[in-house]
């Protein structure tokens, strides 16, 4: 897996969902889900997360 | 839940609730859905709002006002302080709300007007036929439902998917988003009559720190950092905020944490298509300088609710009709202000701390209570000629303001 979301750290704010150019993320109530088949590991979500709860490995 | 409505509103923030209320008041059959189980919670907001403008959309109710401000203090990187009295600072600050109560009250008003409201109900896709949006697929308590509507209104906030499902790319680039962290602090005995802003590239690159009093000595202390100025190997908003807390409020207790993103992209190209309108943060209608989006969201909600009525009564929900009844009215009013703010944002994010200090210094002794936009620009001109050149288009607006005040 090239994208890890630390759900113990995540503040479920949805900022990552708003910047994902592929629409690969979704905020479902209190957790973020990723569609691995559409994610292009561009790393933008990792870059803007206010707490650093997402890690994208390129 | 029925399987057909006149209007389906997705997202029960200020935008969605006002749209649902407005459409229901016009006699339309409305369903308002919210994916969370509690409307308004968790909060993603500093909760500051201008008094005069708020009154245009809702009757003021003490239950959701935490504090009533009469001034803003802005601090430059070197500590130079600018004081603005209410009349000019009015833009974004005035009241500090309790959004958990406020957002819920707005949804309740929509319900009272006749709209059906459903929580823990998430849109997972749109029903699109013959190039028209004709409803949405909803998930409620693990079960899926198809709900049809003559018009769908996407009010699903910063994480909006509705526009994308309809082919409108609303994804924000890092330079188009302020990424935010905020603490609600108690035990710091904060003055409850004014709010504070701290600017500077060391403190909050491309953004600012705010202190908004919330009643009973408490305050929202938060930060927004421009997405393009933070990242994997740089400090995150939460790191900058912790640094500030240590310096200013080391004894305070954190009783709530808030995270979030605010669109600061300025107007996007398209906010409607056949059978669909986007409003509020979903349409990226928040102000690019302040990040304030509550009032714009409510304004767009009102315009869209009325537009839904106009389009449905005319039997025409095509893009062409929605351009006439929704796109045009919002772009000519609020859209103009958003565009002006974007120009200022693009200019301010490139200023060095020295430039910010010198600006603050030249504004320090200006009496802000009586100031017009033109006076402000003149004061800026003395401080920084280059800045003024970058902001020259604003002069046209200032000139218009002068003419308006004379007639
Ligand atoms: C830290 C921070 C501080 C801010 N401070 C201020 C401030 O002081 N003043 C100000 O005016 N503005 C401020 N803003 C901006 C303001 O919060 C937003 O502009 C405002 O909430 C936008 O309202 P909205 O109704 O468009 O969206 P939101 O309030 O975000 O509401 C959208 C709703 O849609 C729901 N939703 C999303 N997807 C779906 C789906 N698929 N199905 C069903 N429901 C869905 C969400 O759960 C949410 O409840 C701040 C923002 C942040 C992040
Ligand atoms: S941006 Fe970070 S904190 Fe916010 S929802 Fe995404 S992973 Fe969670
Ligand atoms: S890495 Fe890029 S494509 Fe993948 S989820 Fe994050 S923002 Fe989306």
- Report, as an integer, the average pLDDT of B127-133: 98
Mutating which of A46, A50, A56, A58 best tests the B interface, going by the most B Cβ atoms within 10 A?
A: A50
CATH topology of domain B4-70+88-171+268-341: FAD/NAD(P)-binding domain (3.50.50)
- How many contacts does A have with B, using Cβ atoms within 8 A? 99
Ligand lying closest to the C-alpha of residue A21: 3
- Report, as an integer, the average pLDDT of B193-203: 93
Record: contact B261-A50, CB cut-off 8 A: yes
The rounded mean pLDDT for chain B is 91
| Beta strands in B173-300, from DSSP E residues, in sequence order | 177-186, 194-198, 208-215, 218-226, 253-263, 272-273, 276-278
Is the pLDDT confidence value at B185 over 60? yes
Structural domain boundaries of chain B?
4-70+88-171+268-341, 177-263, 351-405
What's the pLDDT score for residue A2?
Answer: 87
Ligand lying closest to the C-alpha of residue A3: 3
Compare all CA atoms of chain B with the CA of A43 and give the residue at the minimum distance: B232
Asked if A42 has any chain B CB less than 8 Å from its own CB, the reply is no
B155: confidence class by pLDDT, cuts 50, 70, 90: very high
Question: How many CA within 13 A on the CB side of residue B373?
Answer: 18
Pocket test for ligand 2, best of A18, A33, A49, A56 (most atoms within 8 A of CB): A49
Q: pLDDT of B303-317, one tens digit each?
A: 999 999 999 999 999
What's the pLDDT score for residue B385?
Answer: 64
Asked if A8 has any chain B CB less than 8 Å from its own CB, the reply is no
Record: contact A13-B122, CB cut-off 8 A: no
Cα B258 to middle of ligand 1, angstroms: 12
Tally of domains within chain A? 1
Compare all CA atoms of chain A with the CA of B240 and give the residue at the minimum distance: A50
Asked if the domains at B4-70+88-171+268-341 and B177-263 fall in one CATH topology, the answer is: no
Between A1 and B179, where is the model more confident? B179
Q: What percent of chain B has pLDDT over 90?
A: 76
Ligand lying closest to the C-alpha of residue A27: 2
Between B350 and B113, where is the model more confident? B113
CA separation for the pair B55, B71 (Å, rounded): 19
Which residues does ligand 2 sit against, CB inside 6 Å?
A 5, 10-16, 27, 32, 49, 51, 53-54; B 259
Cα B217 to middle of ligand 2, angstroms: 30
B76, B54, B93, B31: which is closest to B291 by C-alpha? B93
> What is the residue range of A27's domain?
1-55
B306, B32, B356, B327: which is closest to B201 by C-alpha? B356
What's the pLDDT score for residue B403?
Answer: 59
CB B379 within 8 A of CB B362: yes
Cα A21 to middle of ligand 3, angstroms: 7
CB B277 within 8 A of CB B271: yes
Does ipTM surpass 0.90 in this model?
Answer: yes
Helix (H) or strand (E) segment spanning residue B382: helix B373-383
| Atom 2 of ligand 2, nearest CA residue | A49
How do strand B194-198 and strand B71-75 relate by DSSP bridges? parallel
CA separation for the pair B183, B252 (Å, rounded): 10
Contacts of A24 in chain B (CB under 8 A): none
Question: Which ligand 2 atom is at minimum distance from the Cα of A25?
Answer: 6
Record: contact A14-B122, CB cut-off 8 A: no
B42, B40, B179: which is closest to A17 by C-alpha? B179
Tell me if residue B224 falls in helix, strand or coil. strand
What's the pLDDT score for residue B340?
Answer: 86
B377: confidence class by pLDDT, cuts 50, 70, 90: low
Cα B281 to middle of ligand 1, angstroms: 6
Mutating which of A10, A12, A14, A15 best tests the B interface, going by the most B Cβ atoms within 10 A?
A: A15
What's the pLDDT score for residue B90?
Answer: 43
CB B260 within 8 A of CB A50: yes
First to last CA, chain A: 10
What's the pLDDT score for residue B404?
Answer: 62
- Report, as an integer, the average pLDDT of B103-108: 98
Is the pLDDT confidence value at B373 over 80? no
Record: contact B180-A14, CB cut-off 8 A: no
Q: pLDDT of B254-278, one tens digit each?
A: 999 999 999 999 999 999 999 999 9
Is the pLDDT confidence value at B407 over 60? no
What's the pLDDT score for residue B83?
Answer: 83
First to last CA, chain B: 53
Between B297 and B82, where is the model more confident? B297
Record: contact A51-B174, CB cut-off 8 A: no
Q: pLDDT of A9-54, one tens digit each?
A: 999 999 999 999 999 999 998 999 999 999 999 999 999 999 999 9
CA separation for the pair B214, B191 (Å, rounded): 10
Cα A27 to middle of ligand 3, angstroms: 13
CATH number of the domain that A21 lies in? 3.30.70.20
What's the pLDDT score for residue B89?
Answer: 46
The token pair at B380 is: 């800026």
What's the pLDDT score for residue B381?
Answer: 63
Mutating which of B33, B119, B156, B227 best tests the A interface, going by the most A Cβ atoms within 10 A?
A: B227
Q: Give the dihedral sign, CA B108/B114/B118/B124.
A: negative
Q: Which residues, 6 or more positions from B130, have their beta carbon under 8 angstroms from its beta carbon?
A: none
What's the pLDDT score for residue B360?
Answer: 85
Q: pLDDT of B349-372, one tens digit each?
A: 988 999 889 888 877 776 665 555
Q: What percent of chain B has pLDDT over 70?
A: 88
Q: Note the CATH number of domain B177-263.
A: 3.30.9.10
What's the pLDDT score for residue B375?
Answer: 62
Compare all CA atoms of chain A with the CA of B260 and give the residue at the minimum distance: A13
B373 labelled binding-site residue: yes
């Amino acid at each position: 897996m090239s994208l890890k979301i630390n759900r113990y750290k995540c503040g479920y704010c949805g900022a990552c969902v708003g910047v994902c150019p592929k629409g690969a993320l979704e905020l479902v109530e209190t957790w973020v889900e990723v569609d691995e088949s559409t994610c292009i590991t561009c790393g933008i979500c990792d870059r803007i997360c206010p707490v650093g709860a997402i890690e994208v490995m390129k | 839940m029925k399987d057909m409505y006149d209007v389906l509103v997705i997202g029960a923030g200020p935008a969605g609730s006002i749209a649902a209320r407005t459409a229901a008041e016009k006699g339309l059959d409305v369903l308002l859905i919210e994916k969370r189980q509690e409307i308004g919670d968790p909060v993603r907001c500093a909760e500051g709002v201008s008094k005069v403008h708020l009154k245009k959309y809702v009757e003021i109710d003490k239950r959701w006002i935490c504090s009533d401000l009469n001034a803003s203090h802005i601090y430059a990187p070197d500590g130079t302080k600018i004081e603005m009295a209410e009349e000019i600072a009015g833009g974004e600050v005035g009241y500090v709300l309790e959004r958990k109560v406020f957002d819920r009250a707005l949804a309740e008003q929509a319900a009272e007007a006749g709209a059906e409201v459903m929580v823990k109900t998430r849109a997972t896709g749109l029903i699109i036929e013959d190039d028209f949006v004709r409803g949405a697929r909803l998930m409620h308590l693990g079960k899926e439902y198809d709900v049809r509507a003559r018009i769908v209104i996407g009010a699903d906030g910063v994480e909006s998917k509705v526009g994308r499902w309809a082919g409108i790319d609303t994804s924000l680039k890092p330079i188009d988003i302020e990424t935010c962290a905020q603490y609600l602090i108690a035990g710091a005995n904060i003055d409850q009559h004014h709010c504070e802003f701290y600017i500077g590239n060391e403190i909050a690159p491309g953004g600012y720190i705010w202190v908004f009093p919330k009643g009973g000595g408490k305050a929202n202390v938060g930060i927004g950092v421009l997405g393009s100025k933070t990242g994997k190997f740089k400090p995150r908003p939460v790191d900058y905020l912790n640094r500030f807390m240590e310096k200013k409020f080391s004894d305070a207790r954190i009783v709530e944490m808030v995270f979030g993103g605010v669109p600061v992209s300025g107007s996007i190209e398209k906010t409607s298509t056949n059978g669909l309108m986007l409003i509020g943060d979903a349409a990226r209608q928040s102000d690019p300088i302040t990040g304030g989006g509550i009032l714009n969201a409510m304004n767009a909600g009102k315009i869209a609710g009325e537009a839904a009525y106009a389009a449905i009564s005319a039997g025409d929900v095509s893009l062409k009709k929605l351009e006439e009844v929704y796109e045009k009215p919002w772009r000519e009013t609020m859209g103009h202000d958003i565009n002006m703010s974007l120009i200022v944002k693009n200019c301010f994010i490139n200023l060095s701390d020295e430039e910010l200090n010198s600006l603050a210094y030249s504004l320090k002794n200006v009496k802000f209570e009586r100031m017009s936009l033109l006076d402000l620009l003149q004061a800026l001109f003395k401080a920084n000629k280059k800045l003024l050149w970058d902001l020259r288009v604003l002069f046209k607006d200032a000139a218009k303001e002068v003419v308006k005040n004379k007639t």
